[in-house]
Amino acid sequence: MKFIYHLILFTILFSSCKDDSILEDPVLPVLKIENIEVEEGNIDQIVSFSVKLEGENLTNVVVNYNTIEQTAIDSLDFERTFGQLIFAPNETEKIVELSILGDQLNETTESFDFILLNPINATMENNRATISILDDDDGNSNNLTIPLIGYTTPNTYAGMNLVWSDEFNDGTLNESYWTHEIGNGSSGWGNNELQYYKAENTYFALDEYMVIEAKEENESGFDYTSSRLVSQDKFEFKYGRVDIRAALPKGRGLWPALWMLGANFDTAGWPACGEIDIMEMLGHQNNIVHGTVHFGADFSQHSFVGASRLSPSGNTFDEAFHVFSLVWEEDHIQILVDDILYSEVVPSDLNGQPWPFNEEFFFIFNVAVGGNWPGSPNDATVFPQRMIVDYVRVFQ
């Protein structure tokens, strides 16, 4: 009997000691993140993203974080951020600042992910949240759409050197290359044009494109504004190949042009200085471009020779980028679109008038509104309209 009693007592004591030695696992606090939506805006902005800690935390909680591209692109739509968060005891929330990059592009909703990594002293309910960037340019008359398709040309040609170019990727106008011409000129720049040119209508998109914007707004007594850039006295040249990649505006009354005047314009006057129109387009015929040269010993003898070309791709010139080119040699001018020659001029085409095209010339880029050739805008013309220039390159 004593033996049985001692055995029972030993079993009870052993069981009691064993139960006391078992320590329950602590209940760890939980890290939580949630999807958010932000409006893109036209300028860069900082938005706050919350990382929460739920439950009792009696010691420091540490977790790493990172942002990951999805349809939104790092440095284009947002700025990547990463780091480490440390929650002190009883701290329940940390805020991470996210940089959202604004623009005036008409885009679909884009997104990137915020992820949590390697938690210490905590668990995670979920380690990934989506930040959706809602495009707010839809339906906004000021939105800018950059075509995603189009023709392009190489930056090298056999037997030629790239002697000058502007890729428009500095986010600002290179004033060592270009000057803004301001105002309405004389008699609407000689064409009864309706716009007032000002510098503010030139801006840059994505640090990659120069935009000349025509607006319907009052300025100095005129109903429209736009921009006109010249390289006069800054870059002038003779002969070579010119490539200009651009997308064009549309609508009646719009008149975009990429062209050149003789460097002796101030002394010889027009048209004796010569004019080479690498590209002109009428906005109501936005599937046709024109390549023309103007000449004449004086204004009374002004004449021109040129040709026109339908869009080679079938796209209208606002729907895609095209490359407008000049191949210029002594006594020989060729004008091309997307490497297709469509306008060619030699001295015999000038009907005895002086050939002014063996001298230096400078560039002019502009979007006119109205004037003798395109006529005035009408009720169907939508503003603003834009010429978007990707690059201009000169090879010799």
pLDDT per position as a tens digit, 161-180: 999 999 999 889 999 999 99
Which CATH number fits the domain that encloses residue 72? 2.60.40.2030
Per-residue model confidence as pLDDT tens digits over 177-202: 999 999 999 889 999 999 999 999 99
In which domain, by residue range, is 51 found?
A: 30-134
Phi-psi region of 195 (alpha: psi -120 to 50; beta: other; left: phi over 0): beta
**Do residues 210 and 339 both lie within one domain?**
yes
Does residue 348 lie within any of the structural domains? yes
pLDDT band at 102 (very low <50, low <70, confident <90, very high): confident
Distance between CA 288 and CA 314 in Å, rounded?
10
Per-residue model confidence as pLDDT tens digits over 71-95: 999 988 999 999 999 999 999 999 9
Query: Which residues, including other chains, have CB under 8 Å from residue 48's CB and lie 6 or more apart?
Result: 95, 96, 97, 98
Q: How far is CA 289 from the centre of its chain?
A: 23
Q: Quick check: is 275 catalytic? A: yes
Distance between CA 246 and CA 374 in Å, rounded?
20
Does residue 23 lie within any of the structural domains? no
Which CATH number fits the domain that encloses residue 386? 2.60.120.200
Mean pLDDT of 290-305: 96
**Do residues 99 and 175 both lie within one domain?**
no
Query: Which residues, including other chains, have CB under 8 Å from residue 181's CB and lie 6 or more apart?
Result: 197, 228, 229, 230
Per-residue model confidence as pLDDT tens digits over 104-134: 677 788 999 999 999 999 999 999 999 999 9
Does residue 13 lie within any of the structural domains? no
**Do residues 186 and 322 both lie within one domain?**
yes
253 touches 370 (CB < 8 A): yes
**Do residues 222 and 350 both lie within one domain?**
yes
**Do residues 129 and 195 both lie within one domain?**
no
**Do residues 88 and 124 both lie within one domain?**
yes
Distance between CA 218 and CA 215 in Å, rounded?
9
**Do residues 78 and 186 both lie within one domain?**
no
**Do residues 116 and 182 both lie within one domain?**
no
Q: What is the pLDDT of residue 23?
A: 52
Q: What is the pLDDT of residue 108?
A: 80
Dihedral of the CA atoms 295, 190, 200, 370 (nearest 10)? -110
Does residue 185 lie within any of the structural domains? yes
Does residue 242 lie within any of the structural domains? yes
Does residue 56 lie within any of the structural domains? yes
Catalytic residue among 275, 319, 344, 360: 275
Whole-prediction pTM value? 0.70
Per-residue model confidence as pLDDT tens digits over 324-335: 999 999 999 999
Structure tokens at 380: 């169907």
∠ CA 261-385-182, rounded to 5°: 45
Q: What is the pLDDT of residue 12?
A: 44
Does residue 362 lie within any of the structural domains? yes
**Do residues 277 and 225 both lie within one domain?**
yes
Mean pLDDT of 275-293: 97
**Do residues 114 and 242 both lie within one domain?**
no
Domain count, the chain: 2
Catalytic residue among 107, 110, 213, 280: 280
> Quick one: which of 241, 247, 273, 246 has its CA closest to 260?
273
**Do residues 167 and 92 both lie within one domain?**
no
Q: In sequence order, what are the beta bridge partners of 46?
A: 99
Residue 207: how many other CB atoms lie within 10 Å:
13
pLDDT band at 24 (very low <50, low <70, confident <90, very high): low
* Mean predicted lDDT score pLDDT of the chain: 91
Does residue 157 lie within any of the structural domains? no
SS (H, E, C) the chain: CHHHHHHHHHHHHHHHHHHHHCCCCCCCCEEECCCEEEECCCCCEEEEEEEEEECCCCCCEEEEEEEEECCCCECCCEECCEEEEEECCCCCEEEEEEEECCCCECCCCEEEEEEEEEEECCEECCCEEEEEEECCCCCCCCCECCCCCECCCCCCCCCCCEEEEECCCCCCCCCCCCEECCECCCCHHHHHECEEECHHHEEEECCCEEEEEEEEEEECCEEEEECEEECCCCCEECCEEEEEEEECCCCCCEEEEEEEEECCHHHHCCCCCCEEEEEECCHHHCCEEEEEEEECCCHHHCEEEEEEEECCCCCCCCCCEEEEEEEEECCEEEEEECCEEEEEECHHHHCCCCCCCCCCEEEEEEEEEECCCCCCCCCCCCCCEEEEEEEEEEEC
Please give the share of the chain, as a percent, with pLDDT higher than 90: 83
Per-residue model confidence as pLDDT tens digits over 222-235: 999 999 999 999 99
**Do residues 125 and 173 both lie within one domain?**
no
Distance between CA 271 and CA 304 in Å, rounded?
10
Q: Is the pLDDT of residue 14 over 60?
A: no
